A and B are shown apart, each in its own frame.
Chain A
């Protein structure tokens, strides 16, 4: 058998090159001007209301901000850490009820108590996560659905908070023309905070640990990462912003009821937004939220009935999963076609 050319130095050199080639490429400078500009524009937007008639647009926008916040928040657990929660709106509910009850009994606006509501949700998240995150993926998902059902039954039967009829909340004393503006800013601030936190986490040691967990938890554990603490913290953090959003949403709607918070369609929306946009990216949930809400609005206009809406959402989700599993941002990034202004990672 012929003996091939085997030069010791060649092999060692080739090996070094090969290993270097496997190292990831460095990213260029990040574009921070675009997000800041966007924020500025959005902050100034309500001035149009001076001319009145933009209430619907304002509503749509604050609704979008809320979902941006919730989807980005979900992304911390689902996208960065890889644990898919299909019952995340439990925290939406906890936040809503926490602040809602304070508002109903003490008259303190949720705009002030929202952070506390967030903390309450985070605390619950921490406790629940300690139990349910012991499990691998599939069982965790199931426990999140079960959690949603449990919460639904509990809240439906808890007379102190009004059971399934819920409680009506007092409105802010403002003209119809300015009604939506405080909430607009509240949700804008919450959304901005969430996205900023998401970005910070992604570029921190914590975020790196989360990513390790999502790829291979056993290896992460053996690398010295306290996976338990990391996972549960991620769960709590992702509950925090969702809780805040719930608090403000309750006051905005002027009533709190189990069936506005605890329906599985809300959970589905969160998941779908992150999938459409790009799980595990910073900008993904934002893009996904905008797209899905736009899609919903359009389909309500053209398709009307809610069954077709559900069908449509399911089809969109299926197609996205089958053909663009990394979402819009992910797919563009993989093809190196991501416009700089969207690359917030």
Chain B
């Protein structure tokens, strides 16, 4: 039986520049919360962009439920069931919260289904319901992140990828983010998480992977990764200093 998502020896880079990913491999199983950690410039965001179709893959394969998706356009990959929330959150600043949610359901053809899902989401997130008509650009960082993550519930993807959701957020808000992430998981989504704050990321995940020098150097259950002394020295030491 094919894995949910399989990344095999992917090489990718920006424009004609050097390869950032130099043969990365990763396997994602359903129900996991997979946390990818690693130093800056290692290619964590690049990997997510390659999976989502935003970045072309120079060599290697990406398979989703057995089907090759490398080379597909981002909108096609979304329809397959992979949703990506980038670092910049991809909100429409001049649209209201409700319009952003509606835009999130662009690929849903049935208007009724779309409207009912928007209502569901607004119900679950009272803060968003309050601001349903507020322009997304005027909300705080934490509210924007909430909107970006809540928006994935409209489309109900199989995999949701989050690129550094805690970036720029106060610690209390960060905790809320992780709660939302757990909610996504409880709704049946598999989560791939890129986190600069390695300790917090791994603490909230079931599986961990270390990406460095453009390759996956280490994979394992999150607690194991956290506890491994080599990982501690190479990657968590830095996180400790930053945290």
Contact = CB atoms under 8 A, between A and B. Distances in A.
Interface of A: 1-4, 6-8, 11-12, 14-15, 18, 22
A1 B217 contact: no
A11 B220 contact: no
B18 A22 contact: yes
A293 B230 CA distance: 65
A21 B230 CA distance: 25
Contacts of A18: 213
A20 B153 CA distance: 44
A251 B78 CA distance: 66
B195 interface: no
Contacts of A1: 207, 219-221
Q: Which of A1, A7, A12 has the most chain B CB atoms closer than 10 A to its own CB?
A: A1
A18 B207 CA distance: 28
B220 A3 contact: yes
A15 B212 contact: yes
A6 B218 contact: yes
Contacts of B213: 11, 14-15, 18
Interface string B11-24: 00000001000000
Interface of B: 18, 207, 212-213, 217-221, 230-231, 233-234
A15 B43 CA distance: 13
B220 A8 contact: no
Given A1-B219, A11-B234, A15-B213, 15 more contacts: A1-B207, A1-B220, A3-B220, A4-B217, A4-B219, A6-B217, A6-B231, A8-B230, A8-B233, A8-B234, A11-B213, A12-B234, A15-B212, A18-B213, A22-B18
A188 to B, nearest CB: 39
Nearest to A334: B16
A288 B212 CA distance: 45
B218 A4 contact: yes
Contacts of B18: 22
Nearest to B18: A22
A41 to B, nearest CB: 38
A59 B229 CA distance: 77
Nearest to B42: A15
B8 to A, nearest CB: 15
B231 to A, nearest CB: 8
27 contacts: A1-B207, A1-B219, A1-B220, A1-B221, A2-B219, A3-B218, A3-B219, A3-B220, A4-B218, A6-B217, A6-B218, A6-B230, A6-B231, A7-B230, A8-B230, A8-B233, A8-B234, A11-B212, A11-B213, A11-B217, A11-B234, A12-B234, A14-B213, A15-B212, A15-B213, A18-B213, A22-B18
B140 to A, nearest CB: 23
A11 B207 CA distance: 22
Residue with the greatest number of chain B CB neighbours at <10 A, chosen from A3, A7, A14, A22 = A3
A1 B207 CA distance: 10
A1 B18 CA distance: 30
Nearest to B229: A8
A2 B219 CA distance: 7
A231 B203 CA distance: 49
A22 B20 CA distance: 11
B43 to A, nearest CB: 11
Contacts of B220: 1, 3
Contacts of B212: 11, 15
Nearest to B22: A18
Pick the 10 closest A-B CB pairs, nearest first. A1-B219, A1-B220, A6-B230, A6-B218, A18-B213, A8-B230, A14-B213, A4-B218, A8-B233, A6-B217
A287 B33 CA distance: 58
Nearest to A14: B213
A82 to B, nearest CB: 16
A2 B218 CA distance: 8
B234 to A, nearest CB: 6
B12 to A, nearest CB: 16
